[in-house]
Amino acid sequence: MIRPALLALAWGILPVAAEPTDLGRDISSQVTAARAILDTWHAQDPEAGNRRLHIVYWSPSDREPCAGYQTRLTRIMEHIRGFYAKEMKRLGFGPRTINLDYDKTGQLRIHLAQGDKPYAEYNVRSGQEVRRDCVPVLKKAGIDADRETVLIFCNLATWDAGKLVFKHKSPYYAGGSHRQGTAWQLDSPELDTINLPKTKPMIRDGQYGRISLGKHNSIFIGGIAHELGHALGLPHNMARPDEAAAGTALMGSGNRTYGDELRKEGKGSFLTLAHALRLASHPQFSGSVKGMHRSPNQKFSDFKVTPGDRSFTFSGKVTADVPVYAVVAYCDPEGGGDYNATTATAGPDKDGNFTLHCRGLAPGKNAELRIVSCHVNGATSARSRGPQPKFGYSVTPDGTPDVSGIQQRFALEAFLRGLKSSGDTWSASLEEAAYKQLAAAAPDGPDGETLRIARRIQAHLQRQPRHRSTTPNGIKAPSVSLADTKPDVAKVGWGRPAYNILPNDSLLLEAGGRIFETGIYAHAPATHIYTLAGRWKRLQGSCGIASSSFGSAVFIIRGDGKQLWKSRPIKAGSLREFNLDVTGVKSLELVTEDAGDSNRGDWALWLNPMLSR
């Protein structure tokens, strides 16, 4: 039996090929640099720690644990521990991995918990209820579930060994950080690593249909490894094209390919460099608890983005009071959740400068770029001062990235910093110099939308609104933005109504990789009603969620009480356009609603909503 005797600070050596590829050299150099920063920091006033993964086996009131669960789960968890160790070593970090807790017999220590209700009264949404049953059991053993990483096996599956039929209704998700986390899994008697290589018998899985016993085990044992990754703080991401030769990324859809290589059905699952970099400082993997409860303060600055051939580079500077040893970028195209996000990684130099090479972009998609800093104490994306490291961009169908929205944002942020810092000293000469500098930096030149946006924001800060004292029926121009007119009713779900700005520190109306000149802030639930008096013919524009937010909303347009248009649920990173005939409409109503997941973060925006005759 394998014992948990890995030396947590033994890094190991990256195997060197006779002819290392550019990718291999890049990985090796990044890992070497990361190790140097990590080793140096942890060697000074070291605080060794023996953080372990704590496992609970939970059953409903009318069920007992599956026969032989402890021996099976010991094999499964040692297999998963070995997978993480193998992948960390392959990437150059040595056999760093999770620590398991064993009893005196050498078996995995598993805490037993039981619910108050029978099997029939639980389902996949019962995760928190199950966890509440487990917390006192762990507390009795001296374990604080809110300060440790916990894996809960839920006895909510049924296996008919005669008919070879499986189904389950178990919670199956996870979340966590370097300090604590919880993962919910299922247990069933046919789940065992000894079954991973088996191409027969064929079974009937209630979710995946007719599959081999081996594939069934790949899916659910791989699911344990995947959800454990979330409990350790890993987000989803897929392999880049240059990584795909290694198999399927564990935190992408690698939960379904774990062990496929044992049946010669594929290359199996692997850890991307982004995964390994984040795990390298996790207290379970590093063997150090130094500073693990300290929340770093960091600052990003000097951002610059440069488009390339089906790629782009993103550079900047990061400084922090807890050293940063790696920076990870997630390039996340709309749709597919974050499973289809690819990654770029870089190590900061001694001054904190870094450059990320973002490749493998999804053609024909709007996308979001998220920047994450990895700190030596295990923390990631700590409190940030200055610009938030989250940006929208798009990719044309031929794969060419359009990062002009990011460039526009950087130019406008620099202008706004100057505008805000000048305060009462703002003068005509300062204004002329600021606009010249903005024009030079703007991707659309001296006569583009960037300068118009800047002038609108300046007017707002100087309390110089445009037409907002006039309702649309009083406007004589051939076209007008609704955001420049007076509504009869304006109600928003959070804060106060706002027009042509986002009511936070950024001020910029950014959504779906673009920054808009005009717009209506409509945090769901929101209602804006305008008098048209039948004097307008068309309404067109876009709608989306502010890029700085994370919510979702449904957008509805009504004319004289009749629904003219309704969007599907829209999340951050996406835009939807509308172009409607409003001929004869007397009263126009713009409504945003929560998309069914609460209105937290639902910073909805009506963008460039133009009326025309």
Domains and CATH numbers, the chain: 22-286 (3.40.390), 297-402 (2.60.40.10), 415-461 (no CATH), 472-612 (2.60.120.1060)
Reported as a pLDDT band with limits 50, 70 and 90, residue 288 is very high
Residue 477 CB partners (closer than 8 Å, separation 6+): none
Is residue 12's pLDDT more than 80? no
Among residues 234, 235, 236, 254, which one has the least CA distance to residue 244?
254
Joined tokens for residue 251: 């935190």
| pLDDT for residue 6 | 30
Task: Report whether 231 contacts 149 (CB < 8 A).
Answer: yes
DSSP-derived pairing of the beta strands 366-375 and 53-59: unpaired
Write down the residue that tokens 């959504």 correspond to.
511
Q: Residues 301-319: what's their mean pLDDT? A: 94
Q: Residues 163-179: what's their mean pLDDT? A: 96
* DSSP string of 457-501, one letter each residue: HHHHHTT--SSTTS-GGG--SSEEEGGGS--SEEE-SSS--EESS
Is residue 577's pLDDT more than 90? yes
DSSP state of 271: -
Reported as a pLDDT band with limits 50, 70 and 90, residue 150 is very high
The helix/strand/coil state of 312 is: strand
- Amino acid at position 147, single letter: R
DSSP state of 194: G
Q: CA–CA separation, 250 vs 274, rounded Å?
A: 11
Joined tokens for residue 148: 């440790």
Model confidence over 496-550: pLDDT tens digits?
A: 999 999 998 888 999 988 899 999 999 999 999 999 999 999 999 999 999 878 8
Q: Which of 205-209, 364-368, 391-395, 430-434 has the least mean pLDDT?
A: 430-434
Model confidence over 428-483: pLDDT tens digits?
A: 777 788 888 898 888 888 888 999 999 888 887 776 655 577 899 999 999 999 99
Q: Residues 216-235: what's their mean pLDDT? A: 98
Among residues 229, 135, 90, 132, which one has the least CA distance to residue 173?
229
pTM assigned to the model: 0.87
Is residue 338's pLDDT more than 90? no
Q: CA–CA separation, 511 vs 309, rounded Å?
A: 24
Q: CA–CA separation, 487 vs 499, rounded Å?
A: 11
